[in-house]
Amino acid sequence: MANIAYIRVSTIEQNEGRQVEMMKPHSIDKTFTEKASGKNTERPELLAMIDYARQGDTVYIESFSRLARNTVDLLNLIETMNGKGIKVISLKEGMDTSTPAGKLMLTMIGAIATFERENMLERQREGIALAKAEGKYKGRQSKSLPSNFSTIYGQYKNREITKAKMAELCDVSRPVMDRLIKEYEGGTASC
C-alpha cells in the first residue's frame, strides 16, 4: 500500500512549496506534481496518478480544489478512485472520502465551491460589461515580440535556452510565450 501525493498549482508562476510541505508528515512514496488549470480533468499528471494508484493506496491532496474546480468532475474523480479501492484524504478539509461522512461532506463542499466560482465569474462578467459600457475596459493588452526575438527563438530551437528563459528574456509569462511562439511559427507575428 502506497502513500501518494497529488500536487497542483494553476499557473507556471505559482509555487507548489506549501503543498509539498503539507505532504511531509505522511510518508509519501510517490508524488505527482503539475502546473495546470483545474478547469477539466484531462491533466497528464492527474491521469498518471490515477493510473499508478492501486487498491489499498492512499492519495493525499492539499484540498479538493486541487483535484477539480467543479462538483461533477470532483465527484467523478473520487468515485473513480474509490471504485479502485483508493482512499483519498484532503488535508485542508481533514476528510477521508472512503467514509460515509467523508462522502457527504465532499458532496456539500463540491457544491459550495461550484456555487462560489460561478458567482465570481458572474460578478467578473458584470464588471467587464459595466466597464465596457463606460469605455474603461480595453481587454488585455497584447504583447508584441521584441526586436531580437528571432535570435532568442533560434537559441530556443537549438536547445541553448529553455522556454522559461525565453519568456524571461521577452518579459512575458510562459502562457504568453507559448502564444507568441505559435504566432511566430505560424507567420502571424512580426518582430
| The one catalytic residue among 10, 63, 98, 144 | 10
Report the C-alpha dihedral over residues 153, 157, 163, 166, rounded to 10 degrees.
-30
Question: Helical H runs in the chain?
Answer: 17-23, 44-52, 71-83, 100-133, 149-157, 163-170, 174-186
What are phi and psi for residue 42, nearest 5 degrees?
-90, 60
As a whole number of angstroms, the distance between CA 26 and CA 141 comes to 45
**C-alpha pair distances (Å), 41 with each of 37, 71, 77, 144:** 9, 12, 8, 32
Is residue 150 annotated as part of the catalytic site, yes or no? no
Which among 82, 92, 79, 81 is positioned nearest to 21, based on CA atoms? 92
On whether the CB atoms of residues 36 and 66 are closer than 8 A, the answer is: no
* Catalytic (active-site) positions: 10
